[in-house]
Amino acid sequence: MTGVDERASDLLAEAEAALESVPTPGNASEDELHETFEDGLHETADDASDLLETTDADELLAALGLAELSDGSEPASIPEAIVHGERERVATLRALLTLAKLADSEDESERRQSLSTLQEAVDERTADEPRTETEDGAETDEGAVDDLEGEFRETVRSTLEKFGDDVRGFRDRLETVASDTDDGGDDDGGGDEASEEDDWIPSGADSSRNPTTYSTIAPPPSERPDVRSVTRHSTMPDRNRSSETEN
């Protein structure tokens, strides 16, 4: 058994054990359905959904034994793989898809239908009688194949869409970070330039550039009118000055 095949078998075994606690999903009460889902199937359904989302479609079919027909040839399409595949393996694929679908079921009606389908698929995996090839059976198989193929393709499509959403979300986050970085760089640069300009503004600059900037450096005495206009008077008495003249 491959890793995928073994994991799928383990998940379906857990689902089968959980379904044993419910008499019949179609006749079970709402409380019984809720208890079965929450206690035994919720985590198992999440694991099945994770398995399908992380496994390539071709790898999944190969792991379940549906990538090769009984005569050794490879099927040309998914419907051919399902129609001519072994009953047990087809039932395993159906049960796995249904189990994964349970992870997204929200209302009681959808959950009840998924549980009924899961019960049928689990029972078919363990049934002894082979699938008949009558005309009625062929018509029934054709309808079942269409449903099964639809579920398979829907699972793959949902996985791709989810991956695309994750990529777009990651790209948007990168663009937001880049935009914030550019804006921050412009703001910081502008602040530095303004600071440098302020550093180069001389004291007493033109008031049209900075009307509130005044010089705080006093001019030299030769340029101060109050100093130049001072008249110096002698403080010596005339008497002394006359004596000094005679001597």
Cβ count near 176 (within 10 Å)? 10
Q: What percent of the chain has pLDDT over 90?
A: 2
Q: How far apart are CA 238 and CA 246, in angstroms?
A: 13
Total domains, the chain: 1
Domain presence at residue 199? no
Mean residue pLDDT across the chain:
66
**In the predicted structure, residue 216 carries a pLDDT above the cut 70:** no
Residue 217 phi/psi, 5° resolution? -105, 125
200 in any annotated domain: no
**According to the model, what pLDDT value does residue 1 have?**
54
First-to-last alpha carbon distance for the chain, in angstroms, is 139
Radius of gyration of the chain from its Cα atoms, rounded to whole angstroms: 45
The string of pLDDT tens digits covering residues 103-159 is 887 777 787 787 788 888 888 876 654 444 434 444 435 555 566 666 666 655 554
The answer to whether residue 230 sits within a structural domain is no
Residue 90 to residue 85: CA distance in whole angstroms: 6
Alpha-carbon distance 134 to 238, whole Å? 154
- Higher-pLDDT residue of 8 and 189 is 8
Residues 8 and 208: their CA atoms lie apart, in Å, by 81
Give 206's pLDDT tier (boundaries 50, 70, 90). very low
Other Cβ atoms less than 10 A from the Cβ of 40: the count is 18
- Cβ atoms of residues 52 and 96 within 8 Å: yes
- Quote the pLDDT of residue 127: 65
| Cα–Cα distance measured from residue 57 to residue 49, given in angstroms and rounded to the nearest whole number | 13
- Region 32-54: mean pLDDT is 81
Lowest mean pLDDT among 13-22, 201-210, 219-228: 201-210
Asked whether residue 45 carries a pLDDT value surpassing 50, the answer given is yes
Q: What pLDDT score does 139 carry?
A: 40
Region 60-65: mean pLDDT is 86
**Inside any domain, residue 48:** yes
Q: What are the tokens at 16?
A: 């089968």
Task: Give counts: helices (H), strands (E), the chain.
Answer: 10, 0
Q: Is residue 181 part of a domain?
A: no
Of 226 and 51, the one with more pLDDT = 51
Q: Domain span at residue 94? A: 3-167
The residue-averaged pLDDT of 32-57 equals 81
DSSP class of residue 41 equals I
The reported pLDDT for the residue numbered 125 is: 76
pLDDT at 178: 62
Phi-psi region of 82 (alpha: psi -120 to 50; beta: other; left: phi over 0): alpha
* Separation CA 44–CA 11 (nearest Å): 6
Question: Is 13 part of any domain?
Answer: yes
What residue type is 122 in one-letter code? V
Comparison of pLDDT for 127 and 100, the residue scoring more: 100
